[in-house]
Amino acid sequence: MKYRHTDTNGVCTCSIVPPHILDSIVRHGAPSQRASAQQTLALDGQIRSQRAALPLARSAGVQGAGASQKNRRVHTASNATNLPGTPVRSEGQGASGDVAIDEAYDGLGATFDLYSDVYGRNSIDDNGMALIATAHFGNNYNNAFWNGAQMVFGDGDGTIFNRFTIAIDVEGHELTHGVTGATAGLEYHDQPGALNESISDVFGSLVKQRSIGQTAAQADWLIGAGLLAAGINGVALRSMKAPGTAYDDPLIGKDPQPDHMSHYVNTSSDNGGVHINSGIPNKAFYLAATAIGGNAWDVAGNIWYRTLLDSRLSSTAQFQDFANLTVDNADKLYGASVRAAVTQAWQDVGIDVAAILSWQYNKTVISTFTNPHSMNAWAYIQDNGWRKVQTLTPDGASNMFTLLVEAQASNAKVHVYVDGSLIYQAYSA
């Protein structure tokens, strides 16, 4: 079966369990397990089609404007499906005694604290948005999701999945979908959708690492550890350190994530493999963070966060675009050694990073030409689609070429190819 997210404006109602796992349960599970998986898939479809909340607008104001103060509200759906349900615990109140309610409350707080304390972000929308969650959603509901306005957690069926509040990184993951919606607005399909998923895995993992005080070297880099019930052959939903190894079980299938572009999965299911191909940028972040060392949220996390806020990152960004910008931001923020670590991380997953230059409208860009003997150098500019604008002929003496750029709208891009290989990107200033 194939499932497409069809929310408006390219924004997802994003869930933590990918459809290929639920499909596998429907095919291979016992009758009760099949029923739970089918019910979960049906509810997921209803939620997507009935979503009434508008997507968060991309932030345009001053980052962190206003007082940064947690405002958590956790409800119970009492195994029904009405949202947000009955209020149980609000900001500042003591533990409720309901483990799922209290785990949800703590996870909301840990996610808020990461974004506020480390990155100076004032909640999901950077404007003090209340953090709302609902636990005990549905009957044996095997998922958790962000619907554009709040977090929702199922209790799991107890035989395949445990309660979905058990993994704090799941909360960080889902809430980060809200951050992405409020910043880059990455569309939820194909490579931009896989980047959307990967960014949520990155910051979900950072929420967990920071909450338990782990360095990059100490972290397990698993997403959803503890979710799989006893008897399921797996350790988590995903592994950022070793994509494709998180589970291998007759009931839920084998982890299909690739760890390199040579194994990229072309598929029309799962919105073009957003939960599958996210393994590639996940592995790149793991490699960068462990190469840099220390706490992953300090340097590597800051580079990824600043890239998420970067106005050059479009809603349809490809892996190459995101990689190029992370390297550029690493250089600007931390210099050559960190830039080299991030560059190597992307190269190790099969993405060679192009240098990024800038131009002012109607000005000349000059760059070192890497192959003075090539006659196959072309410049393309992106405005209404891509179009070839100039043949580039190098000066054999200086090995330099001049790129003349027409006046274009802001955030236009130029790609230069030499013998079919991208050698740099330029962005309008």
Report the chain (429 residues): mean pLDDT per 10 consecutive residues: 36 81 95 91 75 44 61 98 96 98 98 98 96 96 92 96 97 96 94 97 98 98 98 98 98 98 95 96 98 98 97 90 93 96 96 65 38 45 47 46 44 57 58
CA atoms of 424 and 15, how far apart (whole Å) = 36
362 and 254 within one domain: no
367 and 252 within one domain: no
CA atoms of 330 and 213, how far apart (whole Å) = 24
Of 257, 273, 289, which closes a domain? 273
Catalytic residue among 103, 174, 187, 197: 174
CA atoms of 422 and 316, how far apart (whole Å) = 19
Beta bridge partners of 422: 417
Identify the pLDDT of residue 148: 87
| Nearest 10 degrees: Cα torsion 411, 416, 421, 422 | -30
Of 273, 305, 329, which closes a domain? 273
* CATH number, domain with residue 252: 3.10.170.10
Beta bridge partners of 401: 367
Identify the pLDDT of residue 49: 63
Residue 197 lies in a domain: yes
Which residues lie closer than 8 Å to 324 by C-beta, 6 or more apart? 353, 354, 356, 425
CA atoms of 198 and 321, how far apart (whole Å) = 14
Q: Is 174 a catalytic residue?
A: yes
364 and 269 within one domain: no
* CATH number, domain with residue 360: 2.60.40
Residue 300 lies in a domain: no
Identify the pLDDT of residue 157: 94
Residue 178 lies in a domain: yes
263 and 140 within one domain: yes
Domain of 420? 355-428
27 and 123 within one domain: yes
361 and 259 within one domain: no
391 and 256 within one domain: no
128 and 36 within one domain: yes
Residue 391 lies in a domain: yes
367 and 264 within one domain: no
31 and 170 within one domain: yes
361 and 260 within one domain: no
Q: Is 275 a catalytic residue?
A: yes
Give residue for tokens 């509810």: 43
pTM: 0.83
Total structural domains in the chain? 2
Residue 220 lies in a domain: yes
Residue 137 lies in a domain: yes
99 and 201 within one domain: yes
Of 273, 306, 323, which closes a domain? 273
Residue 37 lies in a domain: yes
Identify the pLDDT of residue 68: 80
Residue 350 lies in a domain: no
